[in-house]
Amino acid sequence: MHYLDQLNEIQRQAVMHMEGPALVVAGPGSGKTRVLTYRIAHLIDRGIPPYQIMALTFTNKAAREMKERIQSVTGPQAYNVWAGTFHSIFARILRYEAEHIGYLSSFTIYDTDDSKSLIKNILNDLHLSKDQYNPNSVRARISSAKTNLISPKRYEQDQELMAQDRAARRPHFAKIYQEYVARCKRSGAMDFDDLLYRLYELLQNHPDIADKYRKRFPFLLIDEFQDTNFLQYQIAKKLTHYPGSSRNILVVGDDAQSIYAFRGATIQNILDFQNDFKPYGVKTYKLVKNYRSTEHIVQAANQVITHNKRQIPKTIESVRGSGNKIHLIKAMTDNEEGKRVVDAILEQKNRLHLRNRDIAILYRTNAQSRIFEENLRQHNIPYRVFGGLSFYQRKEIKDLIAYFRLAINPQDDEALRRIINYPKRGIGKTTLEKISAQAALSQQTLWQTIPQMSFPSRTQNALDGFTALIKDFRQMAEEQDAYQTALHIARRSGILNELKKDTSIEGLSRMENINSLLDGIKEFTAQKTDDSEQSDLSLAAYIQNIALLTDLDQNLPEGDDFVTLMSIHAAKGLEFPSVFVVGLEEQLFPSFMAMESPEGLEEERRLFYVAITRAKNFLTLSYALSRYRYGQMRYNDPSRFLTEINPQHIEGEKTIAANLQAMNAPSRSGVKGNFKRAAGKLKKPVKVPKDFHPSPSAAIQSGMEVFHLQFGKGKVLAIDGSRDKRVATIFFHELKDQKRIMLKFAKLQILK
């Protein structure tokens, strides 16, 4: 069968779109991946050389699947398409052009832990408190600045940003940001944001190089466009906006599935695309036929998402018939919810003959998994929780990879700090501090500084031995493939011997992890393809490959029969015959952090939309009227999202259906009906001071006494989050209770 014959009419039109900009709005289960891959195959079929096509995705898994599908239509030439994640493709370009921005092509890619470690070292050197300058918050603010194209120099010149920092009692942030960028550059390192920021810098400051890549890739395709951030969209424009260009950019996405604002993604990109490219004759194709879910599930999704104002209107249609109604579970407590959900799973297994792997439990926060795990264990139902510690984040793995990184780039300060005395070789903390102080003073890397210093003979011998070891590894990395080099490093570094000494269960597990890593490197060197990028079997190529793995690369193992437990964010892109969406209560889902912001609430609704559209045949929604949170019993209203589904699509206890019907209302600030409201309302109106005026939200800090118009006087117990996502935990004296409030919208007056 010809590939075009496998498409419906709208899919076919999108695939056959040859010239000019195009937006494909793809509802859940509507075949967006097929459209994207077949469009590339069609371009090749029409004579476009594969190497002139760039396709950007968000996961390595999606890129692999894309190439495999294209190959099934066009043959091996599919491997010449530049298909990969934003970060992997941009890293590839940056390695080719590194000299133009002052880097070597062997630059290191820092992960989150590396960035935090660097920030902690900077705070120590500047004698700044880690309490006042929380490393996580500092890293997030640096990331936000880069994503919005704000350099350290521009940051320091921005009076509003500097005023925010002074009000938030972090007046030295600009200095930290400046030092962070400088040290990354000296170490020959880029963090994940730099892979975008530095590419934009390259295209902006070197028009000849920008023109080179525009001509090289006249066809640009972007998957999951709703998840792009400001900087990614600016780069896309740079690659397509130039004189004489047909602007052959095709983006595929669904505004209703934009759920990554906390990563910097903005729904505005997909909403603005039509206007931005209108002068160039943009075409819009809406894929509205859902091939995944049955009618009751699809209609519920349609009804929920219509409550969002910021959207591209569309109505999804199921092609699979009405199917089963949505089952609703009401529990009095979170423990009862866990029991009833697992009872429902047992019923589906016994009555409907579903396998464990057909079933997923999805929740808003990872902390919710515990109760379901306990109940699954009681019934001997195998399960697996996704979203825990990544394999590559385990200590023993990061230790060995730090040696790999130094073998490729000895200027990598964070890798050197990690293993200069592991396994122990007599280079103590004091020695490292002296080297660090001298490096900071001379603005050099640790590796450059070590030969310039003298220490007592024992320490000097240890340092000389360490530098000789790294030089040996470096030579090996230049001459041998990744596996031979890695095995040599694992043995000569002493890590294998160190781990063999620990015969405990944990120690054996760590040894198994190291062997698993080496097995993976062996597999990497054994895979030879027609892709020129994959033909590089060096340790440097392997390190780049794993450095670009993301937590969005969700790959469920096949063959094992277990119930899947994961957060809704992690479930995006997956599907299951039966899905349980749990914890559907106000303050939990939607999250309390989002409820005071219209944009935040709309994103929570999109998250619910994603959750219910993971289900193919069976969807169960559950909530508890009370649960323990932060060590205290909380009484909850059912989520407002439940009231947005027409009861005709829901089955469950009659009292639940009746209450949902009563709760349904066209306009509501909270849940109405006969449900008991949460405890803790004020018994009398708060007396508002005549001189009340809200203080700047950035100025509010832990320990302050504040006044709230509704809840009265309170004490700020803690502050979480950064910038406009800061949330305060406040104990209000008249309530005799604490609440968590998003400061951006709180209108609090500082009393003292």
Positions marked catalytic: 32-33, 223-224, 257, 614
Please provide the DSSP assignment of 184-253 as one string: HHHTTEEEHHHHHHHHHHHHHH-HHHHHHHHHH-SEEEESSGGG-BHHHHHHHHHHH-STT---EEEEEE
What's the Cα-to-Cα distance from 354 to each of 360, 374, 523, rounded to whole Å? 12, 21, 35
Is the dihedral angle over the CA atoms 190, 191, 193, 195 positive or is it negative?
Answer: positive
Alpha helical stretches, state H, 291-394: 295-305, 334-351, 369-378
Could you tell me which of 270, 236, 267, 208 has the C-alpha nearest to residue 90?
236
- The region that residue 27 occupies, defined by phi over 0 for left and psi between -120 and 50 for alpha, beta otherwise, is beta
State CA 595 to chain mean position distance: 21
β-strands 626-629, 563-567 pairing: unpaired
| Alpha-carbon gap, residue 60 to 395, rounded angstroms | 24
SS (H, E, C) 667-731: CCCCCCCCCCCCCCCCCCCCCCCCCCCCCCHHHCCCCCEEEECCCEEEEEEEEECCHHHCEEEEE
- The region that residue 602 occupies, defined by phi over 0 for left and psi between -120 and 50 for alpha, beta otherwise, is alpha
100 burial via Cβ count (<10 Å: 0-12, 13-18, 19+): middle
| Alpha-carbon gap, residue 48 to 220, rounded angstroms | 12
Which two structure tokens, joined as six digits, stand for 428?
A: 């103590």
Could you tell me which of 217, 263, 225, 220 has the C-alpha nearest to residue 32?
225
Gyration radius from the chain CA atoms: 28
| Alpha-carbon gap, residue 55 to 89, rounded angstroms | 9
341 burial via Cβ count (<10 Å: 0-12, 13-18, 19+): buried
Q: Are 379 and 410 in contact (CB under 8 A)?
A: no
- The amino acid occupying position 36 is L
Could you tell me which of 64, 37, 579, 668 has the C-alpha nearest to residue 354?
579
- The amino acid occupying position 257 is Q
- The region that residue 321 occupies, defined by phi over 0 for left and psi between -120 and 50 for alpha, beta otherwise, is left
Which two structure tokens, joined as six digits, stand for 553?
A: 């690369």
| Alpha-carbon gap, residue 444 to 186, rounded angstroms | 7
Alpha carbons within 13 A on the beta-carbon side of 703:
1
What's the Cα-to-Cα distance from 242 to each of 211, 623, 687, rounded to whole Å? 8, 53, 61
